[in-house]
């Protein structure tokens, strides 16, 4: 009977070890995304006409927004995504202010196909970064002495799909 208990415990240990190995294999292949760090990589604010711009009375600035994102692979599953937003306000030919922000994030992305990973990097990650960038830009413009500035929400899913369509068109054009 003691031998049977010993044998049963050994079988249970083997089962536990096999289950642990199987669990590790499943974990390694499991789809996962996690935010490791969100940070400002570069930030610039210029107001070349200050303080004179504040004494000119009425002005109606025209604001331009430029947006892009870049990606670099840091490690096997670690990716840096940088959302660059440039906002410039002009009154005629005069620059009232210029803001450029590189809002970055480190993301652990594992278990996805190449297409899925492309969508995550091109859409999901910028969606995560944008609220941080929007707040930083709005606060800095206001601290620069200008009225409240609010960047409207951006549909990164649509921008990613548009970018993919343009890449397909470009590759088809190259073939002809």
Instruction: State the first-to-last Cα distance of the chain, in angstroms, to the nearest integer.
Output: 80
Structural domain spans, the chain: 30-175
pTM across the whole model: 0.79
Tell me the CATH number for domain 30-175.
3.10.420.10
Give DSSP secondary structure letters for 60-96: --EEEEEEEEEEEE-SSSEEEEEEEEEEEEEETTEEE
Give the percent of the chain with pLDDT over 90: 65
Say yes or no to pLDDT of 15 above 80. no
Using the predicted structure, report yes or no on whether residue 159 has a pLDDT greater than 60. yes
- Write down the mean pLDDT value for the chain: 88
Tell me the percentage of the chain whose pLDDT exceeds 70: 84
pLDDT of residue 85: 98
């Amino acid at each position: 009977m003691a031998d049977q208990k010993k044998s049963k415990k050994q079988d249970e240990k083997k089962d536990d070890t096999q289950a642990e190995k199987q669990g590790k294999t499943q974990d390694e292949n499991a789809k996962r995304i996690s935010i490791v760090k969100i940070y400002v990589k570069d930030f610039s604010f210029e107001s070349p006409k200050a303080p004179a711009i504040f004494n000119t009375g009425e002005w109606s600035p025209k604001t331009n927004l430029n947006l892009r994102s870049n990606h670099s692979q840091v490690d096997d599953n670690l990716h840096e995504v940088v959302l660059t937003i440039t906002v410039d306000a002009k009154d005629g030919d005069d620059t009232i202010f210029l803001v450029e922000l590189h809002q970055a994030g480190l993301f652990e992305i594992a278990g996805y196909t190449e297409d899925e990973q492309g969508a995550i990097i091109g859409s999901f990650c910028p969606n995560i970064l944008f609220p941080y960038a929007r707040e930083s830009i709005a606060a800095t413009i206001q601290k620069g002495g200008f009225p409240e500035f609010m960047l409207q929400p951006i549909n990164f899913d649509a921008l990613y799909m548009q970018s993919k369509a343009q890449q397909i068109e470009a590759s088809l054009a190259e073939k002809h």
